[in-house]
Amino acid sequence: GKTPLRALINRDPDDLRTQARAATARYAAGRPLGPLDGVPVGVKDELDQAGYPTTVGTRFLGTRPALEDATVVARLRSAGALLYGKLNMHEIGLGVTGLNPHHGAARNPYDPTRATGGSSSGVAASIAAGLNPIAVGADGGGSIRIPAALCGVVGLKATFGRISEHGAAPLCWSVAHVGPLAQDVRDCALAYAVMAGPDRHDVNSTAQPPVDLTGWDDRDLTGVRLGVYRPFFEHADAPIVAACDAALQDLRRRGAAIVEIRIPDLALARVAHMVTITSEMVASQAQHSAKHRRQYGHDVRLNLALASRLTQADYIHAQRVRVRVQRHLDEALRHCDAIVTPSTARTAPELPADALLTGESNLEDTDRIMRFAAIGNLTGLPAISVPAGFDDQGLPIGIQFMGRAWTESLLLRLAGAVEAGVGRPAPKVHRRLLT
């Protein structure tokens, strides 16, 4: 039989019908709430949606329904979004494949035998499969951009603090970013515009410049400098490097200049990020881990056990490395406007049958999948993944752009230019809800 997509893990049909009837009435009266009125939008099970439990991909945490929406969910609701349920994720966000022993692994619509990427697994799968054009994800180490790349959709991790974290599970607070995934760059820009901006409930979001999308859809890139650090850029499978190089050449034809740059200490940066995110994950689970130790999946249990061996000194040293890496990137971005890399170093891996039940701890795959993403979380700089092509097995390839703080408009502009030059075949699993 058909393999279930397993993108959606919690829904309330009565609530959805109530929302739909209200949107229909507003449409008939010519009084839409906002730019997303009637548009189906899914929410990662890491963010509060009133009336739904926030279980962070488990069956034993957050079992009581949330009393109010997370700030971004409230903003989407105010814009008219049809919030249709909670989307699957890698358990507690601690993984990049989307494997989940509690709800089942979300499947990649381009090949259901392969991973979606994670941790926003059901988020990317739902968009690629045509269930919704926009969804809300969260990204602590690539968790928006990785599944976007592996499932052939668009994912934006904005500057740290640009989008409120209020109402999101505090899993890895210093590297976490809530953000949009979407079927195309225009929808991603629209969702970002609705979600972004200061929020008095999140102190990290209060001091930011105005959200400005001026020129985001300008495809003339004259004067834009794209930085490439070749040894890093080419540290990926050959079809990925080829697709990203082809995208670069297309951007050059649109007027962009390609600039060779250097970024020291990238391997050290990945270690510092791993120490930071896993230490914070262990702290976030401290009140639960003794009671629920045997209920976590095997891979999450192993990762929490390993991370619990890290010391306070390890964490402090990682923050010192973090400052150093931020300086390296500031220096690189003096010579260019955006840094270009592949989004991942490999396309979607196959899902081993035994891993579907127990999870999997494949450190080599984890490194190859996270390689280019984590630096954006460590530094808080904005980054976007957009489809750049497909490999010979028909699996999506993503290209990533990372810029200076608050330059989301430029990143959307670059992603839109890539998108304009790349054809995207429909995946094997796809439902056209609108004709």
Q: Kindly state the tokens that stand for 203.
A: 């102190």
**Residue 319, Cβ density class (10 Å: 0-12 exposed, 13-18 middle, ≥19 buried):** middle
Closest to 46 measured CA to CA, from 5, 1, 100: 100
In the numeric block, the tokens 């810029």 are attached to 403
Closest to 39 measured CA to CA, from 81, 4, 68, 3: 81
- Please pick, among 119, 120, 279, 409, the residue that the annotation labels catalytic: 119
**Separation in Å, CA 382 to CA 124, 145, 233, 297, 301:** 19, 11, 18, 31, 31
Please state whether beta strands 8-10 and 40-44 pair in parallel, antiparallel, or not at all (unpaired): unpaired
What gap in Å lies between CA 23 and CA 39, rounded to an integer? 9
My answer on whether omega of the bond before 279 falls inside 30° of 0, hence cis, is: no
SS (H, E, C) 148-182: HHHHCCEEEECCCCCECCCCECCCCCCCCEEEEEE
In the numeric block, the tokens 């973090």 are attached to 322
DSSP string, 244-256: HHHHHHHHHHTTP
Is 44 marked active-site?
yes
CA geometry: angle 322, 323, 329, nearest 5 deg: 90
Is 119 marked active-site?
yes
Is 205 marked active-site?
no
- Please pick, among 44, 120, 121, 279, the residue that the annotation labels catalytic: 44
What gap in Å lies between CA 145 and CA 131, rounded to an integer? 19
- Please pick, among 120, 121, 126, 143, the residue that the annotation labels catalytic: 143
What gap in Å lies between CA 228 and CA 336, rounded to an integer? 9
Distant-in-sequence contacts of 232-237, Cβ < 8 A, 24+ apart: 232/263, 232/266, 232/341, 232/372, 233/340, 233/341, 233/342, 235/345, 235/371, 236/342, 236/344, 236/345, 236/346, 236/368, 236/371, 236/372, 237/345, 237/346, 237/347, 237/391
Contact 388, 246 (CB under 8 A): yes
**Residue 334, Cβ density class (10 Å: 0-12 exposed, 13-18 middle, ≥19 buried):** exposed
Residue 13 host element (H or E): helix 13-29
Catalytic (active-site) positions: 44, 119, 143
